[in-house]
Amino acid sequence: MDLIEFKQEQIRLASKIILRDAFSRIKTIGASACVSFGKDLLACVVVCEFPSFQIKEKKTFLLPNPLSPVLGYSAYREMPAIIEAFNQLEEEPDILFVYGHGINHPRHFGIASHIGLALQKPTIGVVEKLSFGSIEQGKIMMNGEMLGFEVVTREHANPLYISPGNLITFGSVLDIVQKCIKYPHKLPEPLHLAHKLARKKAQEMMKK
């Protein structure tokens, strides 16, 4: 893994990110999640109707021998598997949740931004641990710039950290995340379902 080349690519591509809503009406919301399967990586992409969260499609892809995980460069490990799963969909979602950082990243180009740019889809990054920046009055700040939000989605649970990936505004990110929380789950429902289905698929594969 050549981190210098990856870093330079992130800096170059970050300038292409657009924080403007590329949708007018939301009918479907998707989500992607990855789980380790031995030395391989299993990606799952689900598409849900909105606002019912009924699953319309679910696709998986097993990536052999992915790159090792490195903080700040998760896209280079997970994105190939996620895009392969996404490309199997019969109908693309209007918005895609990605478990990972959006622009709340040292180079403003986390995995949610990378996937959003590659697919030209509105994306929202969601993580459960603040890896970059600091929190000021519920906002993720880095070098004096707002890059996302800290949100509490379940009573007595640790907060989530959310940020735009691409083709979506800060306001829409906050509004959509809040509308996608379904008690008692902490994660937005499409993302919860993607994680659940990825783990289930991995368990099924282990039994074979």
Give residue-wise pLDDT tens across range 41-93. Answer: 999 999 999 999 999 999 999 999 999 999 999 999 999 999 999 999 999 99
CA atoms lying within 13 Å on the CB side of residue 52: 5
pLDDT of residue 2: 85
How much is the pLDDT for 12? 97
d(CA 155, CA 17) in angstroms, rounded, equals 34
Average pLDDT over residues 14-19: 98
- Residue 1, pLDDT > 70, answer no
Fold category of 24-207 in CATH: archaeoglobus fulgidus dsm 4304 fold (3.30.2170)
Nearest to 19 by CA among 119, 166, 133, 136: 166
What's the rounded mean pLDDT across residues 130-146?
Answer: 95
Q: Please, what sign has the CA dihedral across residues 185, 191, 197, 203? A: negative
Q: Is 175 left (phi over 0), alpha (psi -120 to 50) or beta?
A: alpha
pTM of the model: 0.96
Q: Average pLDDT in the 138-148 region? A: 96
Question: Span 36-40, mean pLDDT?
Answer: 92
Cα Rg of the chain (Å, integer) = 16
Q: Which band of pLDDT confidence, cut at 50, 70 and 90, is reported for residue 119?
A: very high
Q: What are the Cα distances from residue 195, in Å, to 22, 46, 101, 178?
A: 26, 9, 16, 19
| Residue-wise DSSP of 50-101 | TTT--EEEEEEEEESSPPPP-TT-HHHHHHHHHHHHHTT-SS--SEEEEES-
Contact 5, 76 (CB under 8 A): no
